[in-house]
């Protein structure tokens, strides 16, 4: 009797391991982070991660600012902190890279309801820190974007 159960559990385990292995970055369901929908199909690749939820900006698990809570642009100090943390993360990623080349891309998970007042400066800060490209994580739709 137990053998059948073990078979079933091992199948579930393999399915979950495969699911786990496919994701380059972790996207946790969060009511403050509702991703925009898109018909894009490009798989998310690993890069320095910036999460801009409705409450805060997190860069590689560091809380960097709470200005999204007021849906406003960062002030000068907050902006400088964004640039500094991004520079540190870029250096760390460069040190980890096998070829020693600094990364040029950052992956941004942003809430779709946030205004460009918040996200524009985050993009500008990424550029100031040396990241030329920004890749936005989106939720995949069946066809046309909603």
Partner 1 sequence: MRRRARLSVDTPEVNLVPLLDMVSLLIQMLLVSAQFGAFAELESQVAGPGTPEDAERLGLEVRVVATGYLVSWTVDGERTERSLACLDEGCTHWPGPGLTALAQDLKGRHPSERQVVIDPDPGVPFEGVVAAMDAVRSAGKAPLFPDLVVAP
Residues near partner 1 (CB under 8 A) are 2-3, 5-6, 9-10, 12-13, 16-17, 19-20, 23, 26-29, 35-45, 73, 105, 107, 110-117, 119-121, 123-124, 126-127, 131-140, 144-145
Q: How far is the CB of 21 from partner 1 (least distance, A)?
A: 11
Contacts for 47 with CB less than 8 Å, ≥ 6 apart: 25, 93, 103, 105, 106, 107, 135
Q: Which is nearer to partner 1, 43 or 100 (CB)?
A: 43
Q: How far is the CB of 32 from partner 1 (least distance, A)?
A: 14
Q: CA–CA distance from 65 to each of 58, 86, 96 (Å)?
A: 8, 13, 26
Q: Which is nearer to partner 1, 43 or 95 (CB)?
A: 43
Q: How far is the CB of 76 from partner 1 (least distance, A)?
A: 16
Q: How far is the CB of 19 from partner 1 (least distance, A)?
A: 5
117-142 per-residue burial string, b: 16 or more CB within 10 A, e: under 16: ebbebbbebbeebbbeebeebbeeee
Q: In what order do the strands lie in the sheet with 105-110?
A: 62-65, 57-59, 48-52, 105-110
Q: Which is nearer to partner 1, 63 or 113 (CB)?
A: 113
Question: What does DSSP assign to residue 99?
Answer: T
Q: Which is nearer to partner 1, 85 or 109 (CB)?
A: 109
């Amino acid at each position: 009797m137990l053998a059948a159960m073990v078979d079933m559990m091992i199948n579930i385990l393999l399915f979950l391991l495969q699911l786990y292995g496919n994701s380059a970055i972790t996207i946790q369901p969060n009511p403050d982070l509702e991703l925009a929908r898109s018909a894009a199909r490009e798989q998310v690749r690993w890069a320095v991660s910036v999460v801009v939820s409705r409450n805060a900006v997190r860069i590689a698990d560091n809380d960097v600012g709470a200005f999204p809570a007021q849906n406003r642009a960062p002030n000068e100090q907050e902006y400088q902190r964004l640039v500094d943390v991004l520079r540190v993360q870029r250096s760390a990623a460069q040190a980890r890279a096998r070829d020693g080349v600094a990364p040029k891309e950052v992956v941004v998970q942003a809430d779709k309801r946030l205004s460009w007042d918040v996200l524009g400066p985050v993009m500008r800060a990424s550029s100031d820190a040396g990241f030329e490209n920004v890749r936005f994580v989106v939720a995949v739709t069946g066809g046309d974007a909603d």
